[in-house]
Structures are given as structure tokens and as C-alpha cells.
């Protein structure tokens, strides 16, 4: 090797080594002392060992801004390629400068062009403030500092899965790209998201709040619904992304991966009669029923803390990925609400984008009545669910476990006029109608009952008569061809697997030509 080669190679190695240290060893050590991973350690932990290939490592080295605060490239999870970037808070606090923003844009663009998932690991205060001599106008700053990523996030929506992890504090422009992605995961007590930080809020409104009170993981997972799950530490969060990836296809043109968990497709679910009480007024945890039905009891719940009256998540039935949508009778009697409607519609639309069949487990007392729900816009939010149900084209199977009252029949896809629910099954204890038999009798026959010689006996007589006439699933199935069958609870798993196998060749129905629909947001 001649001297010129040696000199240039030595310089290259030196520059790369400096870039690998980000803001310097001292700053990296401080991050580790706080119990956090560095930006590079996050990528290494997330991806299959040794699979990460970095782009633009030496960008920013002349300005003393290694990688411009963003580590970006591609690697593999479970042997399948993904594009990934990780914001580095040791370089200008992780703020989004011109090259930082471009690298984000390019990573998402690569993912879209290659048809692979995109994972962003976020920790940024937002756009980098230009120096005092800069003559950039606001529009130029936003464009150069990452505002353009919103375009590729939007173009990729419904084509590739996009997952965001909030690893620290994110503000301003840094929260909007995650908000456009499919899933947001946060670290409990260490992650925050907000448009304006506590100091700005206090200056404008006088309200004094901590970062966690304003936009911590608990706030966004329980109250706002912005985030999907929170985890005790960064490692648990990154493990959860790897688990989620096992349920997702690479893109909208592929099927989710088939994984055999060793569960017998013909297994009977005898335990369901113990899990689900026959009395429609008694509560139970529908998650126990879900885990009884699906392969090996494995269920990845999405937004478990937000709108808990609705349970959604991913599971498998005979190796095939499915999206579960279930009412939760242990919370608000499984009523449909403003928040549950958003949660349900969003999840079903994701499943429809990525070829994931939808399983509806129905046990609802209808839409939550009251002034609060009406004033919050339950009509508009409920319409989102109807839109999602009518628009979806993936296989969809419904099982009414116990009750489906009033508008709950609409919101849970039970009404046959809604094209898209391919098969509908009832359990023998299913109750149908505008409301339950007991409530109906009290509403319409209350005066007669109270004036009768034996009110309790009269009430029981009316209830029994009404149940036989309008709440009997056998009677309903005898006249309604859209009810495929009344099944025993123990056959639920077997019936769902048989139905999914038959529906696996379902073709998308023809659509009216249009730019796009106008979902009632």
C-alpha cells in the first residue's frame, strides 16, 4: 500500500471512529448513567445481531455534528429487512437540522421504495434553531429541518408498516412524524410528547406542569390515546417492537408471516362456558376468552389502557395472523363510546391495509347513552367505525358471545346490511334486540307489573316470553340467512379456523372510482 492510500484510509478510519462516538464519550456515559441506551445501542438491541448497515455515517463531521444527530440505515428483524433511524440526543440535543431531516426523509423513502417496514427511534426537542446570522424564513427552516418527512410518512401510510418509539422527550415538529405512523410506543416515566413544553405552557396559560404531567407515557396511553403501549424500560419497548413485527407483513402486497405455535386447530374451548357467564348482566374479562381461543394463548394487545371497554390486538389462529376486536364486559358493560370508536376504527383500518383478517367477538350493551357522549360527538365517532366496517375487504368473522343490543349491532358489524362481515355465528345464550329483555320489560310493562297481584311472577313471565320471542338465537337463525350457525362455545376456535381457511381466497370487491373517501374525522 503506497503512502497516499495509507494516509487517506487512516483519515477515513479516524473520521468514522469520531462519528461513532456521537457527541463524545462523556455524553454517552451520562446517558448510560441515567439507565438509558445510547442511540446506537438502541439500534443494535432492536435489530438482529450484526445486521445493521448505516448510511451517511460521516455527514456533519466537518461541522462537529457527527451524523447530524441521526443514525440511519437498514437491518433485519427475524431475518426480514427493515429501515430504521435513531435520533442521537448527544449531538445538538437530537434537534432536527437540515441533514438530520433529510436523512429521516431518505430512510422513510428507502422503506417505501423497497417495500419494507420503517422504525423510528425518537428523542428530539424539535427543529434546530438557526444561528443568529441565518436569513432563512420560517418555511425554509421547516422544510430543511424535517417538515418534509410528513409527506413520505403520508405516502407510506397503508403501504408499509410504520412504527415509532418515543425514547425520551420529544416536542414540536418532532412529534408529528410519529403521529403519522401506525404505532407509537413509549417508555414509562422517561418518555414525553408535546407540541409545546411546560415552560411555554406556563408562560401562556400560567399553568405549572411537569413534562410527565403534560405529555408522559401514562397521559398518552390512558387519556389522549396518542400512544399504543408503554413499557418499564427501553429494552422492554424494543422487545415489544420485535414481537409486533412477528405479526406484520413487510408491506400491503404481502401476507403476514405464518408461524406455527404448536396448538391443535381442532382443540375444543371447553373453558369458555366457565369464563363467560350466561347471565348477560355479569361482568367477565374478555381477554381470558381471547387467550382461550387463539393459538397458545398468545395475544398482543394494542392500546390496553385507552378506552378499555374495547379490546383490540393481534393473535394467531392455526398459524394465521388475525386482528381481534372484542367488547370488554368488565368495563362499562362493553358499551361503545367516543374513545372506543376511535380505537376500534383505527385498528380495523390498519388490519384492512395489511391483509389481516378481523375477528369480532361481540358482547355489548350498545352505545353509551348520556349528554357527555352526545356532546363529545358519539355520532361522528361512531360513524368512523361504520366507515371502517363498510370499507374493509379482508375476511371478517363475527361471533356474538352473549349480547348485542341496539346500535351495538351496527358498531360491531352484526347487521347483515353492512357488506364485509363474511360469516356470523351466535352462541346459544346470545341475546339480541334494541335492549335486553329485563330492561325492555321494565320500560314497556313496568306499570302493569307493579299493579299486578304478584309483580315478581308477572315480571318473570314477561321476561321469559320476550326472551323466547326476540332474544332466542335459534329463532333468529331460523329466519336470518346471514347467520351462518348457532355454535357451542367449545367449538368457537375450530369454527373460526375453518372459516378463515375458507375465506383465505376472498377477493377484494370492486370499488367505485374516486380519489378517496371522506371519513368523518
- Can you list the domains of the chain with their CATH numbers? 3-245 (3.90.226.10), 272-435+472-503 (3.90.226.10), 437-470 (no CATH)
pLDDT in tens, 142-152: 454 556 899 99
DSSP assignment of 201-229: HHHHH-----HHHHHBHHIIIIII---SE
Please give the residue that has the higher pLDDT: either 206 or 492. 492
Ranges 29-38, 161-170, 427-436: which has the least confidence: 427-436
pLDDT at position 512 is: 87
Output the pTM of the full model. Answer: 0.92
Distance CA 73, CA 426 (A): 50
Give the mean pLDDT of 105-112.
95
Lookup result for grid cell 414509562: 188
Instruction: Please report the pLDDT score of residue 136 as a whole number.
Output: 46
Strand-pair category, 310-317 with 320-327: antiparallel
Whose cell is 330492561? That residue is 439
Specify the pLDDT at position 329: 96
> 338-353 and 378-391 are packed helices; what angle lies between their axes, rounded to 10 degrees?
20
Q: pLDDT value at position 140?
A: 46
Residue 315 clears pLDDT 90, i.e. is over it: yes
Angle 52-231-250 (CA atoms, 0-180°, nearest 5)?
A: 40
Contact 120, 54 (CB under 8 A): no
Does 105 score more than 70 pLDDT?
yes
- Strands (DSSP E) contained in 287-409 are 300-302, 310-317, 320-327, 358-364, 396-405
pLDDT of residue 453: 86
Q: What is the pLDDT of residue 41?
A: 97
For residue 419, the model assigns a pLDDT of 66
Average pLDDT (464-490) is 82
**Position 416 confidence tier, pLDDT thresholds 50, 70, 90:** low
Higher pLDDT among residues 481 and 355, named by residue: 355
- In whole angstroms, what is the distance from residue 205 CA to residue 441 CA? 52
pLDDT at 182: 98
- pLDDT bin (cut points 50, 70, 90) of residue 172 is confident
Per the model's pLDDT, the better-predicted residue between 404 and 228 turns out to be 228
Q: DSSP characters for 498-519?
A: HHHHHHTTPPPPP----S----
Name the percent of the chain lying above pLDDT 70. 94
Query: Does position 354 have pLDDT exceeding 90, yes or no?
Result: yes
Average pLDDT value over all residues in the chain: 91
- Asked if the model's pLDDT at residue 130 lies above 80, the reply is no
Angle at 262 between CA 243 and CA 82, to 5 degrees: 25
Question: What does the pLDDT average to over 248-255?
Answer: 97
Range of weakest confidence among 205-209, 274-278, 313-317, 338-342: 205-209
The pLDDT of residue 328 is 98
Q: Tell whether the model's pLDDT for residue 141 goes beyond 60.
A: no
What pLDDT is attached to residue 144? 45
Task: Examine the pLDDT at 501 and tell me if it is beyond 50.
Answer: yes
What pLDDT shows up at residue 137?
Answer: 44
What's the confidence (pLDDT) of residue 134? Answer: 47
Evaluated on CA atoms 45, 50, 53, 57, the torsion sign reads positive
Q: Across residues 482-496, what is the average pLDDT?
A: 96
pLDDT given for residue 119 in this prediction: 98
Three-class secondary structure of residue 270 per DSSP: coil
Least confident of 79-83, 143-147, 188-192, 497-501: 143-147
Query: 98: Cβ–Cβ under 8 A, 6 or more apart, which residues?
Result: 68, 144, 145
pLDDT band, residue 212 (cuts 50/70/90) = very high
Amino acid at each position: 500500500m503506497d503512502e497516499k492510500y495509507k494516509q487517506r484510509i487512516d483519515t477515513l478510519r479516524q473520521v468514522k471512529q469520531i462519528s461513532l462516538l456521537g457527541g463524545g464519550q462523556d455524553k454517552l456515559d451520562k446517558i448510560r448513567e441515567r439507565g438509558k441506551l445510547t442511540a446506537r445501542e438502541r439500534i443494535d438491541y432492536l435489530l438482529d445481531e450484526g445486521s445493521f448497515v448505516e448510511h451517511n455515517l460521516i455527514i456533519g463531521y466537518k461541522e462537529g455534528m457527527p451524523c447530524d444527530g441521526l443514525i440511519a440505515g437498514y437491518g433485519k428483524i427475524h431475518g426480514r429487512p427493515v429501515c430504521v433511524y435513531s435520533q442521537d440526543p448527544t449531538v445538538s440535543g437530537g434537534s432536527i437540522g437540515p441533514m438530520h431531516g433529510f436523512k429521516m426523509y431518505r430512510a422513510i423513502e428507502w422503506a417505501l421504495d423497497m417495500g419494507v417496514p420503517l422504525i423510528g427511534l425518537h428523542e428530539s426537542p424539535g427543529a434546530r434553531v438557526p444561528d443568529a446570522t441565518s436569513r432563512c424564513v420560517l418555511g425554509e427552516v421547516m422544510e430543511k429541518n424535517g417538515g418534509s418527512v410528513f409527506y413520505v410518512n403520508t405516502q407510506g401510510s397503508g403501504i408499509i408498516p410504520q412504527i415509532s418509539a418515543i425514547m425520551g422527550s420529544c416536542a414540536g415538529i418532532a412529534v408529528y412524524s410519529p403521529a403519522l405512523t401506525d404505532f407509537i410506543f413509549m417508555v414509562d416515566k422517561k418518555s414525553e410528547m408535546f407540541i409545546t413544553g411546560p415552560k411555554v405552557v406556563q408562560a401562556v396559560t400560567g399553568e405549572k406542569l411537569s413534562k410527565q404531567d403534560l405529555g408522559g407515557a401514562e397521559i398518552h396511553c390512558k387519556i389522549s390515546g396518542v400512544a399504543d403501549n408503554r413499557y418499564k424500560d427501553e429494552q422492554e419497548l424494543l422487545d415489544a417492537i420485535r414481537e409486533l413485527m412477528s405479526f406484520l407483513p413487510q408491506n400491503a402486497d404481502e401476507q403476514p408471516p405464518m408461524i406455527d405455535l404448536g396448538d391443535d386447530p381442532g382443540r375444543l374451548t371447553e373453558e369458555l362456558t366457565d369464563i363467560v357467564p350466561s347471565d348477560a348482566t355479569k361482568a367477565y374479562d374478555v381477554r381470558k376468552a381471547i387467550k382461550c381461543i387463539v393459538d397458545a394463548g398468545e395475544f398482543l394487545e394494542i392500546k390496553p389502557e385507552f378506552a378499555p371497554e374495547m379490546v383490540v390486538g393481534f393473535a394467531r389462529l392455526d398459524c394465521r395472523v388475525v386482528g381481534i376486536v372484542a367488547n370488554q364486559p368488565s368495563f362499562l358493560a362493553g358499551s361503545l363510546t367516543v374513545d372506543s370508536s376511535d380505537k376500534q376504527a383505527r385498528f380495523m383500518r390498519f388490519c384492512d391495509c395489511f391483509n389481516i383478517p378481523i375477528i369480532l367477538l361481540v358482547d355489548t350493551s350498545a352505545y353509551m347513552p348520556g349528554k357527555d357522549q352526545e356532546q363529545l360527538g358519539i355520532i361522528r365517532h361512531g360513524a368512523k367505525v361504520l366507515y371502517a366496517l363498510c370499507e374493509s375487504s379482508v375476511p371478517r368473522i363475527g361471533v356474538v358471545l352473549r349480547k348485542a343490543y341496539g346500535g351495538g349491532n351496527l358498531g360491531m358489524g352484526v347487521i347483515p346490511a353492512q357488506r364485509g362481515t363474511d360469516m356470523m355465528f351466535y352462541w346459544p345464550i346470545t341475546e339480541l334486540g334494541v335492549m335486553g329483555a329485563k330492561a325492555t320489560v321494565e320500560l314497556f310493562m313496568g306499570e302493569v307489573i307493579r299493579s299486578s297481584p304478584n309483580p315478581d311472577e308477572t315480571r318473570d313471565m314477561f321476561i321469559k316470553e320476550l326472551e323466547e320471542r326476540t332474544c332466542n338465537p335459534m329463532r333468529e337463525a331460523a329466519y336470518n340467512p346471514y347467520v351462518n350457525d348457532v355454535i357451542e362455545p367449545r367449538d368457537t376456535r375450530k369454527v373460526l379456523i375453518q372459516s378463515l381457511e375458507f375465506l383465505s381466497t376472498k377477493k377484494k370487491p370492486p370499488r367505485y372510482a374516486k380519489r378517496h373517501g371522506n371519513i368523518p374525522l
